[in-house]
Chains A and B, each alone.
Chain A
Amino acid sequence: MGLETHFGHSVVTTRIDAVLNWARKNSIMPMPFGTACCAIEFMGLVSSQFDLSRFGAEIVRFSPRQSDLLMVMGTISYKQAPILRRIYDQMPEPKWVLSMGVCACSGGFYDNYCTVQGIDDIIPVDIYVAGCPPRPEGLIEAIMKLQSERIGQETVLARPRPVVSLPVASRDREGGAQETVRH
C-alpha cells in the first residue's frame, strides 16, 4: 500500500488489544450454518445488492476451523442439534455466534415435537436478529453491532461472553416428555 510514503519512518504506538480487535473487527470470517429459509436471505446478503464485503465480513468459510463467526440461520431440529454443537466446538477461540431469525432464536412458530426452542439451549449466542426471515439490512445491523459491541470488547487476557451451562433443561410448555439436551 505504500504507507511509508505517508508516514515515513515514523512509529505508531498502541495497545496489543486495540490492534487485535481492530484486525478482528474488520476481517470477520463467517461460517454460515444455514439450514432453512433464512439462509436464502443470507445469499442475498452476500450478493452485490447488499454486499457484506463493505463490512469486511464476506469471506465465507465453510470450515468451522477457519472461521470466527458462526451464523446460525434457520430452524434447528433436534436431529440437527448435535451437529450444530459439534460445529461450534470445532471453531477456534475467539468466536462469536449470531442467531438469525426467530427459529434460531426461539423456535419461532415451530413450537412442536421436533424443533429446538432456541439455539441458546445448545450454544452461547452473542447476538439475536429478529425476523422471519430478517431482512438483509437487519443482518448488516447485527454485524455492525457485533463489531462495535462484542468484538471490540475483547482483551487478550479475558473476554466477556455469555455462558451456557450444559446440560440445559429447555422450556417445556405443555407437559410432554422431559427434555434435557445431552452432549
Chain B
Amino acid sequence: MNETLQQIKERFQEAVAVESGRDGDVVVMADTRSARGALLEVIGKLRDLGFTVLTDLAGIDYLQYPIQQPGRFAVTYILSDLKRRQRVRLKAYVGAQDPVLPSVTHLWQAANWLERECWDQFGIRFEGHPNLKRLLNHHEFVGHPLRKDYPMRSRQPLSENDSLMDEMVVRLRQKGLLLPGIEAQLATPGVRVSDHGEEAAPGSPSFGARGGAASAAVVERITALPGVLGEPEFYRDLHTELMFLNIGPSHPATHGTLRALVALDGETIMAAVGEIGYLHRGFEKSTEVQTYNGVIPYTDRLNYVSAMMNNFAYCKTIEKLLDIETTERTKAIRVVIAELSRIVDHLVCIGANLVDLGALTNYWYLFNVREKAYDIFDRLTGARLTNSYGRIGGLARDFYPGCGDDILRVLKETEKAIADVEQLISHNRILLDRLTGISAVTAEEALSRGWTGPLLRASGVDYDVRKAFPYDGYEQYDFEIPTGTVGDTYDRFFIRFYEMAQSARIIRQALAKMPAGPIFPDVKTAALPPKDDTYNNIEGLMNHFKLIFEGVKVPPGELYDSYEAANGELGFLVVADGSGKPFRNRCRPPSLLAYAAFPEIIEGHMIADAIATLGGLNIIAGELDR
C-alpha cells in the first residue's frame, strides 16, 4: 500500500493532497471549487496508475460537521484496481453555491445512475451528463433530501407518475428509430427533452430534474402525428409500428418495484428505458438519526433475502472505523451464517426466476429447504427474515447448543434439493434455449458498468471481495471462485449453483474448526457487555445503557469498506463525527448498478427474454432503492 501511496504522491507532486486513510486506502483530495477541470485530470492520472474501476460515487454534505472542510459538499469517488487489489478514495470538494462537477459518464457507464442519484439527493450537478434526471425521488419532488438542511419528515406526495417518454424519445433517436419529421417537431421550444448536455444552458429551467412537463408535450406530439415513429427498412412492408409498453412497476416479474418502458416491434424490444425509486424509503437519511447499533435493523431491509449479510457488512465497516478486531469465534460464526444466507439468497433467486420462466415445480423443491434454513435463523435470532443478528464488535447472541449440527443437516438437505433441481433443469431444452446467448455482457462492459458479484464473475472476471480484500478470516478457507465465459443469462443463472457449492464447502470448514471463546472483544467503549453482566452488576448495566442510549462513540473520520454479499460488493461509506450517530451513511448497493444496465442489455431481445434476464440479475428492490 505504501508503494501505491508513494506512486500517487509522485504522480501528483503536491498538486492535490494525498494521504493514507484509516482503512489503509489512499485518499486523494481535490479541491475543485476553483478549477473544475482539475478533477478529470486527477481521475485520468489515477486511471493510468491502474485504478480503472469506478466502484462508487457518493455525495456528502458537510454542513454542521464539527471539523472544518474545504467546501460544503464533497463527492467521493471510490476507484479500484482489481489486479493489485487496491482502492483509492478520491474526494472532490464543491462549494455551497451552485455545486457543480464535471461528469465522468464518458469514462464509466456506472457513473450515469450514480451521478443522477447524487444530483437527486444532494443537488450537485454534473456537467456533461447525458440525462441528469432525478433517480430515486419522484419527478414532482422539490429539494434534495440528503442535504442536512432538508427536514427528514418533510413529505411530498406525487400526483402522477412520470411517463418516461422524454427519455424514450432520446433513446429512440440514439437508435435511429425516430424519423426526421419528428426531429424537427421536437426541436421546437416547449418540447425540449432532457438531453440538455449539448444545448440547454446549465441552470436554465429545463436543466435536469423536471422531465415530466416536457414529456407530456412530447407524447402529445408523437401521438398526433401518424406514422412518425421510424421503422427499419426490413420491417416496413410488415407495417409494424412501435408500440410502447410499461413493464412494471406492478408486474409479477418485476417484484412490484422495477419499471421499464419498452418500445416494441412485435415482441422484440427495440428500445428501453428504466425507472427506479418505487421502494425508495430513505435508508441513508433515516439512519443519520439512529445510533450505530440502531442502524442494524435498517440494514436488514436492504437485501432482505439475506439480511444478516447486510448486518455483518455494516458492522464490519464500523468496526474498522473504531479500529477494533472481532473475536475468532465471531468471525467464524459470521462466515457460517453469511454463507448460509448466500445459499438462501441464491435459492430464492433461482426459484423465483424459474417461476417467472414457467417452471413452477422447482420452486417447491427449493422453498422447502429454504424454510428449513429459516427455522434455524428463527431459532438463532428470533426472526425468520429480518434477523438483526450483527452487533458492532460482535453478534446479538452466540450459537444455541446444537446449532452447528442443525446447519449441517439442513446443508445436506439443501444439497439434495439443489441436485434435484439441477437434474430437472440442466438438460431441459426449453430452459436452455431461453437462457443461452441472451443479453450477453462482456468483461469490459461489466467492469465499466460497475457490476460485481455473480454478475461480474459470470462475465469471466474472478473478482470476489472475499479473496481480494479478505475479512473474517476468509483467507483460511479453501474455496474457489467460479467464473462464467460468455456473461449471458445462462452464465448468470448457473453460476449461482456453483457458488452455493462453494459456500457449502466454506460452511463445513468453518464449523469443523469453530473456535471457542467470547463473541465480543474486551472493548468496553464499543462492545455490548454480556447479558449476565447487564442483568447482574451495575457496571454492566450502566455500560449497556450508555452504549444503547448514546450509541457507540465513533471518532471523527470516514472510510469505505466492502463485503461480498449475495448480489455482489455491498459497500458502506460512513462518515463519523465523534457522536454516537453516523453523520453520513452511504450504502453502495450492487443491485443499483446491475439494474442500471438492464434497459440497455434487453434491447434487441424479446419480452420473455427480458424477464429471464431480470431474474438472472436478481435485483432486490430494498437494496436497489434503499
A181 at the interface (CB under 8 A from B): yes
> Quick one: given A79-B161, A79-B277, A182-B159, are A115 and B368 in contact (CB under 8 Å)?
no
B94-139 residues with Cβ-Cβ distance < 8 A to A are 136-138
Distance from A103 Cβ to chain B, minimum over Cβ atoms (Å): 8
A27-59 residues with Cβ-Cβ distance < 8 A to B are 33-37, 39-41, 43-44, 47-49
Q: Mark A99-134, 1 if CB is under 8 A from B, else 0.
A: 000010000011111110100000000000000110
Contacts of A74 in B (CB 8 A): 256, 279
> Quick one: given A78-B158, A81-B158, are A174 and B151 in contact (CB under 8 Å)?
yes
Check B385 against A110 for contact (C-beta < 8 Å): no
B451 at the interface (CB under 8 A from A): no
Distance from B380 Cβ to chain A, minimum over Cβ atoms (Å): 16
> Quick one: given A109-B298, A112-B286, are A37 and B304 in contact (CB under 8 Å)?
yes
Check A80 against B257 for contact (C-beta < 8 Å): yes
- In the assembly, what is the distance between CA of A109 and CA of B281, in Å? 10
Q: Which of B56-64, B222-230, B245-253, B593-601 contacts A (4 or more CB under 8 A)?
A: B245-253
B236 at the interface (CB under 8 A from A): no
B498 at the interface (CB under 8 A from A): no
B3 at the interface (CB under 8 A from A): no
A148 at the interface (CB under 8 A from B): no
- In the assembly, what is the distance between CA of A33 and CA of B279, in Å? 13
Check A173 against B153 for contact (C-beta < 8 Å): yes
Contacts of A170 in B (CB 8 A): 155
A83 at the interface (CB under 8 A from B): yes
- In the assembly, what is the distance between CA of A133 and CA of B301, in Å? 10
A2 at the interface (CB under 8 A from B): no
Check A114 against B280 for contact (C-beta < 8 Å): yes
Contacts of A156 in B (CB 8 A): none
- In the assembly, what is the distance between CA of A133 and CA of B385, in Å? 7
A141-183 residues with Cβ-Cβ distance < 8 A to B are 170, 172-177, 179-183
> Quick one: given A40-B305, A47-B367, A81-B158, are A176 and B153 in contact (CB under 8 Å)?
yes
Check B385 against A40 for contact (C-beta < 8 Å): yes
Check B367 against A44 for contact (C-beta < 8 Å): yes
Main secondary structure of the interface of A (DSSP, over half): loop
A22 at the interface (CB under 8 A from B): no
Distance from B423 Cβ to chain A, minimum over Cβ atoms (Å): 19
Contacts of A111 in B (CB 8 A): 152-153, 286
Contacts of A172 in B (CB 8 A): 153, 155
Q: Size range of the interface on A?
A: 35 or more
- The listed residue (A62, A133, A182) touching B386 by CB distance below 8 A is A133
A21 at the interface (CB under 8 A from B): no
Contacts of B281 in A (CB 8 A): 36, 75, 77, 103, 110, 112, 114-115
Q: Mark B257-278, 1 if CB is under 8 A from A, else 0.
A: 1000000000000000000011
Q: Which residue of B lies closest to A39 (CB)?
A: B256
Q: Mark B297-322, 1 if CB is under 8 A from A, else 0.
A: 11011001100000000000000000
Distance from A76 Cβ to chain B, minimum over Cβ atoms (Å): 9
Check A48 against B368 for contact (C-beta < 8 Å): yes
B352 at the interface (CB under 8 A from A): yes
B232 at the interface (CB under 8 A from A): no
Q: Which residue of B lies closest to A136 (CB)?
A: B384
- The listed residue (A39, A48, A115) touching B282 by CB distance below 8 A is A115
B474 at the interface (CB under 8 A from A): no
> Quick one: given A36-B304, A62-B252, A79-B137, are A113 and B279 in contact (CB under 8 Å)?
no
- In the assembly, what is the distance between CA of A133 and CA of B286, in Å? 19
Contacts of A48 in B (CB 8 A): 364, 367-368
Distance from A78 Cβ to chain B, minimum over Cβ atoms (Å): 5
- In the assembly, what is the distance between CA of A181 and CA of B252, in Å? 26
Centre residue among B155, B277, B348 by max chain A CB count within 10 A: B155
Contacts of A34 in B (CB 8 A): 255-256
> Quick one: given A83-B249, A113-B285, are A77 and B278 in contact (CB under 8 Å)?
yes
- In the assembly, what is the distance between CA of A170 and CA of B157, in Å? 10
Contacts of B155 in A (CB 8 A): 78, 113-115, 117, 170, 172, 176-177, 179
- In the assembly, what is the distance between CA of A80 and CA of B126, in Å? 27
A91 at the interface (CB under 8 A from B): no
Check A176 against B282 for contact (C-beta < 8 Å): no
Contacts of B374 in A (CB 8 A): 44
- In the assembly, what is the distance between CA of A115 and CA of B622, in Å? 13
Distance from B620 Cβ to chain A, minimum over Cβ atoms (Å): 9
> Quick one: given A78-B158, A80-B249, A113-B150, are A37 and B282 in contact (CB under 8 Å)?
no
Check A35 against B282 for contact (C-beta < 8 Å): no
Q: Which residue of B lies closest to A174 (CB)?
A: B153
Contacts of B255 in A (CB 8 A): 34-35, 39
Check A113 against B352 for contact (C-beta < 8 Å): no
B476 at the interface (CB under 8 A from A): no
Q: Mark B165-185, 1 if CB is under 8 A from A, else 0.
A: 000000000000000000000
Q: Could you list 16 further interchain pairs (A-B, Cβ under 8 angstroms) beyond the known A48-B368, A109-B286?
A: A34-B256, A35-B279, A36-B279, A40-B304, A40-B348, A40-B385, A44-B384, A77-B280, A78-B158, A80-B278, A81-B158, A87-B250, A112-B282, A113-B152, A113-B282, A172-B155
B binding-site residues for A, Cβ under 8 Å? 136-138, 145, 150-161, 249-252, 255-257, 277-282, 285-286, 297-298, 300-301, 304-305, 348, 352, 363-364, 367-368, 370-371, 374, 384-386, 621-622, 625
Report 30 cross-chain contacts, Cβ distance below 8 Å, ordered by A residue.
Answer: A37-B386, A37-B622, A39-B255, A43-B367, A49-B371, A77-B625, A78-B138, A78-B158, A79-B277, A81-B158, A82-B159, A83-B249, A83-B250, A110-B281, A111-B153, A112-B152, A112-B281, A112-B285, A113-B150, A114-B137, A117-B155, A170-B155, A172-B155, A173-B153, A174-B151, A175-B151, A176-B151, A180-B157, A181-B157, A182-B159
Q: What are the 5 closest A-B residue pairs judged by CB atoms, nearest first?
A: A176-B154, A37-B304, A112-B282, A47-B367, A35-B256
